[in-house]
Amino acid sequence: MGRLRRPDLPGGPAADFFHALYDLHLRAGEPSIRDIAKSTNQLSHDTVHRTLTGPAVPKWANVEKVVQALGGSPETIQPLWLAARVSDDGQPAPDLHVKEPTNAADAVVPDVSDASPAPGRIRVMIVDDHPLFRYGLAAVLAHAGYEVVAEAENGAEAVELAAKSAPDVVLMDLHMPVMSGVEATRQLVERNPAARVLVLTMFDDTESIRSSLRAGAKGYLLKGTGQEQIVDAVRRTALGEPVLSATASEAMLAHYREADDQPPTLTSREQEVVRLVAQDMTNRDIATALMISLRTVEMHLVRALKKLGLRSRVGLTRYAIEHGLTD
Q: Which of 46, 142, 60 is nearest to 96 (CA)?
A: 60
Q: Does 7 reside within a domain?
A: no
Residue 82 has pLDDT above 90, yes or no: no
What is the pLDDT, as a whole number, of residue 235?
92
The domain of 50 spans 13-89
pLDDT at 85 over 80: no
- 286 and 179 housed in the same domain: no
Q: Is the pLDDT of residue 151 over 90?
A: yes
Q: Which residues pair with 171 in a beta bridge?
A: 126, 198
CA trace torsion 121, 127, 133, 137 (10° rounding): -10
- Which of the residue ranges 20-24, 77-81, 155-159, 237-241 would you say has the lowest mean pLDDT? 77-81
CA distance 4 to 35: 13
Share above pLDDT 90 across residues of the chain, in percent, rounded to a whole number: 28
- Residue 23 confidence (pLDDT): 85
pLDDT, mean over the chain: 80
pLDDT of residue 285: 93
Identify the pLDDT of residue 255: 54
Residue 210 in domain:
yes
Task: Judge if 293 and 316 occupy the same domain.
Answer: yes
In a domain, 284, yes or no: yes
Q: Which positions ≥6 away from 17 have C-beta within 8 Å?
A: 57, 77, 80, 81, 83, 84
d(CA 219, CA 252) in angstroms, rounded, equals 12
* CATH code for position 283: 1.10.10.10
160-211 pLDDT, tens digit per residue, is 999 999 999 999 999 999 999 999 999 999 988 888 999 999 888 888 888 8
Query: Count of domains in the chain?
Result: 3
Q: Are residues 28 and 132 in the same domain?
A: no
Q: What CATH number should be reported for the domain holding residue 76?
A: 1.10.260
Considering the domain architecture, whether residues 47 and 75 belong to the same structural domain is answered as yes
The answer to whether residue 104 sits within a structural domain is no
Task: Name residue 93's amino acid.
Answer: A
* Same domain, residue pair 203 and 314: no
Mean of pLDDT values over 4-28? 80
124 and 242 both lie in a single domain: yes
Specify the pairing of strand 197-201 against strand 219-222. Answer: parallel
So what's the pLDDT on residue 87?
Answer: 54
Same domain, 163 and 236: yes
Cα dist. 141→86, 185, 309 in Å? Answer: 12, 21, 32
Asked if the model's pLDDT at residue 103 lies above 90, the reply is no
Phi, psi of 125 (to 5 degrees): -115, 135
Residues 196 and 308 in one domain: no
Highest mean pLDDT among 56-60, 194-198, 206-210, 254-258: 194-198
How far apart CA 192 and CA 209 sit, in angstroms, is 21
pTM given for the model: 0.48
Q: Is residue 146 part of a domain?
A: yes
| pLDDT-derived band at 25, boundaries 50, 70, 90 | confident
The CATH number of residue 126's host domain is 3.40.50.2300
- Mean pLDDT over residues 15-34, rounded? 85
pLDDT the model gives residue 223: 86
